[in-house]
Structure 1
Amino acid sequence: MKGSNTTLRLIVGVLFLALGGVAVFKAWPLLFPKAAVTAPVDPACDLRAGPCTTKMPGGGKVSFGIEPRTIPLVKPLDLKVTLEGIDASAVEIDFSGVDMNMGFNRPKLSKASKGEFAGGGTLPVCVREAMEWEAKVMLHTDRGLVTAPYRFVTVKPGVSLQ
């Protein structure tokens, strides 16, 4: 009787491990999509000053802006992407902490007009006074996934960036 309980527990454990492996295998492309083209981060970009524009390798431009420009945490954000010389069927913004995992946060934008996509998003609360983020603009194109990363910092109310 005791041996059958151990065998049953072993079988259940192996089944849970296999199920977990299948879940990771299926979720991997969603969590870590392979980009056909990725632009370098522009260190001169300041999304608090206004939209930033990136010249893409292979041609075209991507402009990205966030409102309000203070980029508050846990408050609605207006996101806008403008494309020039690039035709995208869909646009997403993948928000991630640069040096801290903040979970999956990838709002999809809606096509507003030719070359313009807009939508909303929210950044989660963070325990740090200041947090560096990357907003990766993900363009779904005929060439495959094209990405343009933008870096910015959020600060808790009452904390200065100086």
Structure 2
Amino acid sequence: MLFIALASVAAYKALPLLNPNIGDVAPLDASCDLRAGPCTSILSDGSRVSFAIKTEGIPLVKPLDLEVKLDGIEASKVEVDFIGLGMEMGFNRPQLKATDVGQYVGTGMLPVCIRAAMEWEARVLITTPKGLVAAPFRFITAKEGAVLPGSKE
């Protein structure tokens, strides 16, 4: 009984970390290609979130240089939540550091995946004085030697 009680308390405390209460979510831009460069999303108030994975090829199990630029948003914290679509890949949310007004950088890493190609969502989470806002960006990774879906190779 004690174990069940402790596990319940731990789950209750972890729930906001795993599923944060997000106030505003930018629409997903299906034309975004993070392999080609940064992508920008616009929130409902007109503010902008630009996200880039600077590491060429977006490799698995290697450090990824991440950059977020904010325009019209006052942030106290910026994180990037990597979510595997179609397969649970575990908690993966690096926090970025402010380097200039509205600019945040950091390093993340994607885990190894058994699939030849995997679709991901990088959800930029921004803590503001008004609450948490998010901007989703999708991309695909491929194992070395595999062809990305939709490519002409």
**Which of 79, 82, 98 is the equivalent residue of 2:66?**
79
2:86 is aligned with 1:99: yes
Counterpart contact for 2:49–2:71, Cα < 8 Å = yes
Tell me which residue corresponds to 2:23.
Answer: 36
Q: CA deviation at 1:90?
A: 0.9
Tell me which residue corresponds to 2:104.
Answer: 117
Counterpart contact for 2:27–2:42, Cα < 8 Å = no
Counterpart contact for 1:92–1:109, Cα < 8 Å = yes
Counterpart contact for 1:47–1:69, Cα < 8 Å = no
Summarize the alignment of residues 55-74 of structure 1 with structure 2, pairs less than 5 Å apart.
Answer: 55-74=42-61
TM-score between both structures, scaled by the size of structure 2: 0.95
Q: Which runs of 5+ in 2 are unaligned?
A: none
Letter in 2 for 1:67: K
| Structure 1 runs of 4+ with >2 Å offset | none
Q: What is the DSSP-based 3-state SS (H/G/I as helix, E as strand, rest coil) of the residue aligned with 2:8? A: helix
Distance 1:97 1:50 in 2: 21
> What is the aligned length?
149
2:59 is aligned with 1:89: no
Counterpart contact for 2:34–2:139, Cα < 8 Å = yes
Distance 1:40 1:55 in 2: 7
Larger radius of gyration: 1
Distance 2:56 2:44 in 1: 27
Distance 1:120 1:128 in 2: 23
TM-score between both structures, scaled by the size of structure 1: 0.90
Q: Which runs of 5+ in 1 are unaligned?
A: 1-13
Counterpart contact for 2:75–2:126, Cα < 8 Å = yes
Counterpart contact for 2:48–2:72, Cα < 8 Å = yes
Q: CA deviation at 1:143?
A: 1.1
Distance 1:91 1:66 in 2: 15
